[in-house]
Amino acid sequence: MTASPHPTVDSLPLYARSVRRLCPIRRLGTGERHHFFGYYNKSVWDRTGRYVLGNEVAMMDAPLGPELLAAVGYFDVQENESFHPLDTTTAWNWQMGCQLQWLDGEPGRKVIYNTRTGDLSARYPGFGATVFDIDSGKKTALCAGLRVFPR
C-alpha cells in the first residue's frame, strides 16, 4: 500500500484537526492575464457546479479609471478550464469586481454585472447593469447598476 500524498486528519497539527475533508485548490486561467472575481456575498459557481465566473484584466496593479477595461466571462471546469469572455465593462474595482453574478432563478445561463452608460440623468449617473444570456448571446441593458443584488 502506498502512502497518500495528501495529509490525513491525524497527521495535521492539533489546531487543524477539525478538517473533515480536503478541498483541492487550483488556479484557473493561464498566461499573462490576471483573473479575479468580486465580492464575498456572490458565488462564482453556477447551479451545476461546472461554470465559474470571473473578470480578466491585463494587469493587477493599475490605478482605476473609467477607461480601464475588464473582461467579463467564465471558466468551464469540465473543458480545459479556459476563460470564455462574454463582454467587457469599465464599471469595476479590485474589491468588488463588477458585481458579476449568476441569475440562478432565471432559465438557462444568465449573468448580470455593472456597466457604464452615457445616461447622466439616471439614478446613479453614468452607471447601469447588463444581463447577458450566455446561451443566446443576448444582452439586455438595465438603467440602474448593482450594488447588492439579493440571491
What are the boundaries of each domain within the chain?
A: 34-142
User: Would you place residue 4 in the very low, low, confident or very high pLDDT band (cuts 50, 70, 90)?
Assistant: low
Which pLDDT value is given to residue 16?
A: 63
Q: How far apart are CA 91 and CA 117, in angstroms?
A: 9
Half-sphere exposure in the Cβ direction for 47 (13 Å, CA): 11
Sheet with 110-116, edge to edge strand ranges = 101-102, 110-116, 127-133, 139-142
Give the model confidence (pLDDT) of 89-132 as tens digits. 999 988 888 999 999 888 899 999 999 998 888 788 889 999 99
pLDDT in tens, 12-55: 676 665 656 677 777 888 778 888 887 778 889 999 999 999 99
Q: Rounded to an integer, what distance in angstroms lies between the CA atom of residue 59 and that of residue 27?
A: 17
Grid cell, residue 81, equals: 478550464
